[in-house]
Amino acid sequence: MKMLQDKGIQPSVQRIEILTFLIANRIHPTAEIIYDRLHPAIPTLSRTTVYNTLRLFVEHDLVQVLTIEDKEARFDIDTSLHGHFKCDACGSVYDFSAPDLPPEKMKDLEGFMIRERHVYFRGTCAMCAKNI
């Protein structure tokens, strides 16, 4: 698959299937969700392979890790600058556009070299709020 090769990753059946799953399922899945969904079709797939593949994808900037909660890592195929909202009721994670704030507008960070930026909100999504 060209996306893998463009990032310097050697394609394999498992890597292609995991990448295809991430592209087709923009649900910010955990490694366990990916394993549970792919294992029936690929019985030789192991959890270790899923975790190692995701780590490789992160190292090559193919996916980003979301750590909205300490106990849960989710993976996002969209590496562009955007924010995430996690619903406390249903657990879904939603993307939203987040304006880029240049460091010169953040006086508290003057002189800092910013390597990463994450914007996370938590609360109740619109669908769950209708049921309250």
The confidence score (pLDDT) of residue 9 equals: 97
pTM of the model: 0.87
d(CA 101, CA 130): 33
Structure tokens at 110: 């003057």
- pLDDT, averaged in runs of 10, over the chain (132 residues): 95 97 97 98 97 98 92 94 94 89 74 84 96 86
Q: Nearest-CA neighbor of 132 among 68, 69, 86, 87?
A: 87
Co-location of 71 and 39 in the same domain:
yes
Domain residues for the domain of 92 are 83-130
The confidence score (pLDDT) of residue 103 equals: 63
Co-location of 32 and 47 in the same domain:
yes
98: enclosing H helix or E strand: none
Co-location of 64 and 88 in the same domain:
no
13: enclosing H helix or E strand: helix 13-24
Domain closes at, from 34, 56, 76: 76
CATH number, position 110: 3.30.1490.190
Domain closes at, from 36, 54, 76: 76
